[in-house]
Amino acid sequence: MKVGVPKETAAGETRVALVPEIVRKLTAKEFEVTVESGAGEGSMLSDALYEDAGATIGDDVWTSDVVVKVAAPSDDEIAKLGKDTVLIGFLGPLSAPKTTQALADAGATAFAMEAIPRISRAQSMDALSSQSNVAGYKSVLVATNHLGRFLPMMMTAAGTVPPAKVLVLGAGVAGLQAIATARRLGAQVTGYDVRAAVAEQVRSLGAQFLELEAGKGAEGEGGYARELTDEEKQAQQRELADKIATFDVVITTALVPGRPAPRLVSAESVKKMKPGSVIVDLAAETGGNCELTEPGKTVVKHDVTIMSPLNLPASMAEHSSSLYSRNVQSLLELLLGEDGEINLDFDDEIVAGACITRDGEIVHAGAKKTVEAAAGSASDGAAAEPAATTEPATGAPPAQQDMPPAPASEPEPEPEPAAAPAPAPAERADED
Ligand SMILES: NC(=O)c1ccc[n+]([C@@H]2O[C@H](COP(=O)([O-])OP(=O)(O)OC[C@H]3O[C@@H](n4cnc5c(N)ncnc54)[C@H](O)[C@@H]3O)[C@@H](O)[C@H]2O)c1
């Protein structure tokens, strides 16, 4: 099977879909890998390293049997795809209707990493988790960098400094990693989520769990949270407002698949925080969890720094690429037939679930609904984007928080994050 690795062209995208270590493993099997010159530059990977690993360096990557990407391709790139070429990448099925439509129009067979069902057999392909893990870790470092306070307690001859208080709102993959990272740095950490099962996971990391009445037990389908009702949302914001004021750092990661990010931190809450406090909003790509968030920017409001980086994983390209690459390797191996050629078994739950376009059709229910909603808005004269999205104009990476549809079978419990919680992504993170 011939695999092509293009150089990523989206603004700020430093990652690459395959690293040499994985190329070596693939070329040891029945894969031939061609890498576009410079594809690994952003991840500190030279062409020579790829050649050593058995890849060919060349421009002819778009007509391979499979093209593997990180960010969604631009229109120009979609035009270069071969007639029978399969595309793999973060394609934004629930956030990038124009990309989905363009792929369908081009007749491409496209697999979205976000749409891989989150079942145990697909854990090694779970790129949402691998990249969310990076984002959760980095969010704490970014916050710390902007905080004029220590995270750990410091007992010095010049006096004792109490530990900083960190609140993590939304304790899924990114949130749990943020909690673990802030704990490692010695902060006093509190986590919060609407899913009841999360409380124990938060506590197992040595953090406190914030119990609120509003939205309690708001489990949705497939292990995700459901969207709260309007009454629940208001009650949640009210309850949170007083609590938030007591924290030095607030990291928000709350998402609901295919919906705008839930608003958890009101402008009023920000006003109540101590001057010098920091908010890092990881939900910026779908509108943000904080009312004062300006996606992609760092702003100071009421003496509180509010940061909303759009692609934190790109700021740690070496490890982000390496983890993503293993996710891609697992998917490629699933698509490899016994004869060493590509074999797409659409009876396989993972292959069927991850495929968003095929034979000129949009075959993923969520992606189809998103395209129809965008077309409806356009014909109503509104912006042609669905509520939960900020589709990049030029093939920039989609919001990583695109969630897969509820898998047909029950999702497995997330790998235990206690010791080193496991493991999301678009324009270069704002971390100045
Ligand atoms: N089986 C698997 O392989 C696998 C892999 C990864 C995740 N999962 C499951 O999916 C879950 C969520 O994954 P994710 O991190 O990608 O989720 P996500 O990115 O969709 O959401 C992040 C967190 O925000 C929370 N949230 C949503 N609305 C909220 C609100 N109004 N207030 C507070 N919190 C809110 C969600 O409950 C979730 O924990 C995991 O914890 C796990 O149960 C399963």
pLDDT at residue 380 in the model: 67
Residue 172, pLDDT > 90, answer yes
Domain holding 25, by residue range, is 2-126+316-379
With the most atoms of ligand 1 within 8 angstroms of its CB, the residue from 121, 167, 173 to mutate is 173
Output the CA 200–ligand 1 centroid distance in Å: 14
Cβ(262) – ligand 1 distance below 6 Å: yes
Could you report the per-residue pLDDT of 174-191, keeping only the tens digit for each? 999 999 999 999 999 999
Structural tokens at position 181 = 């990272």
Same domain, yes or no, for 203 and 328? no
pLDDT mean over 335-358: 95
Pairing of strands 159-161, 154-156: antiparallel
Can you tell me the distance from the alpha carbon of 138 to that of 181, in angstroms, rounded to the nearest whole number?
A: 9
Q: Could you tell me the two tokens for 1?
A: 């099977």
Same domain, 308 and 166: yes
The fraction of the chain above a pLDDT of 70, given in percent, is: 88
Catalytic residue annotation: 118, 123, 126, 129, 224
pLDDT per position as a tens digit, 12-33: 999 999 999 999 999 999 999 9
3-class DSSP string for 69-86: CCCCCCHHHHHHCCCCCE
Query: How many Å apart are CA 333 and CA 337, to the nearest integer?
Result: 8
Q: Give the residue, out of 90, 116, 118, with the most ligand 1 atoms within 8 A of its beta carbon, to mutate for a pocket test.
A: 118
Distance of alpha carbon 323 from alpha carbon 157, whole angstroms:
43
Q: Which of 237-246, 267-276, 421-430 has the lowest mean pLDDT?
A: 421-430
Q: 160 and 303: one domain?
A: yes
At 377, the pLDDT band (50, 70, 90 cuts) reads confident
pLDDT higher than threshold 70 for residue 387: no
User: Could you tell me the CA-to-CA distances from 62 to 90, 110, 163, 230, 250 in Å, in that order?
Assistant: 16, 13, 52, 47, 43
Q: Is the pLDDT assigned to residue 419 strictly greater than 80?
A: no
Based on the fold, state whether residues 306 and 333 are members of the same structural domain: no
Going by their DSSP bridges, the two strands 188-192 and 86-89 should be labelled as unpaired
User: What is the tens place of the pLDDT at every residue in 97-131?
Assistant: 999 999 999 999 999 999 999 999 999 999 999 99
Among 295, 314, 333, residue at a domain's last position: 314
pLDDT band at 82 (very low <50, low <70, confident <90, very high): confident
Round the CA-based radius of gyration of the chain to a whole number and report it. 21
Q: State the pLDDT confidence band at 267, using cuts at 50, 70 and 90.
A: very high
Residue 258: pLDDT band (50, 70, 90) is: confident
- One domain for residues 205 and 149: yes
- Split into its structural domains, the chain has a count of 2
Q: Which atom of ligand 1 lies at the shortest distance from residue 262's CA?
A: 31
Q: In what order do the strands lie in the sheet with 208-209?
A: 208-209, 188-192, 165-169, 249-252, 278-281, 304-307, 298-301
Domain-embedded: residue 406:
no
Query: Are residue 243 and residue 145 in the same domain, yes or no?
Result: yes
CATH of the domain at 227: 3.40.50.720
* Residues 190, 151 share a domain: yes
Distance from residue 223's CA to the centre of ligand 1 (Å): 7
